[in-house]
Amino acid sequence: MEYKLGDKAITKKAHPCEKRCNEWEIIRVGADIKIKCQGCGNIIMLSRYKFEKSVKSIIPKE
Ligand SMILES: [Zn+2]
């Protein structure tokens, strides 16, 4: 899977927040991945393995 900082990630499951958003911005790529919910702005951290398993598709920044 190819992704970089600033790309959008669409997850299989929606975030259980008010907006039930499944679109996230990738804000950190390292040993762990940090993504920000585009609905509520919450940031969560996942291992690469977990991230890649939960993502349906990546929308490149450009
Ligand atoms: Zn959310």
Closest to 30 (Cα-Cα) out of 9, 47, 10, 54: 47
Pick 11 or 62 by higher pLDDT: 11
Q: Would you kindly state where each structural domain of the chain is located, as residue ranges?
A: 8-59
Dist. CA 22 → ligand 1 center (Å): 8
Dist. CA 27 → ligand 1 center (Å): 15
- The answer to whether 28 and 6 have CB atoms below 8 angstroms apart is no
Whether 1 has a pLDDT exceeding 90, the answer reads: no
What are the pLDDT digits (tens) for 11-59?
999 999 999 999 999 999 999 999 999 999 999 999 999 999 999 999 9
- The answer to whether 31 and 25 have CB atoms below 8 angstroms apart is no
pTM score of the predicted model = 0.93
- The answer to whether 44 and 35 have CB atoms below 8 angstroms apart is yes
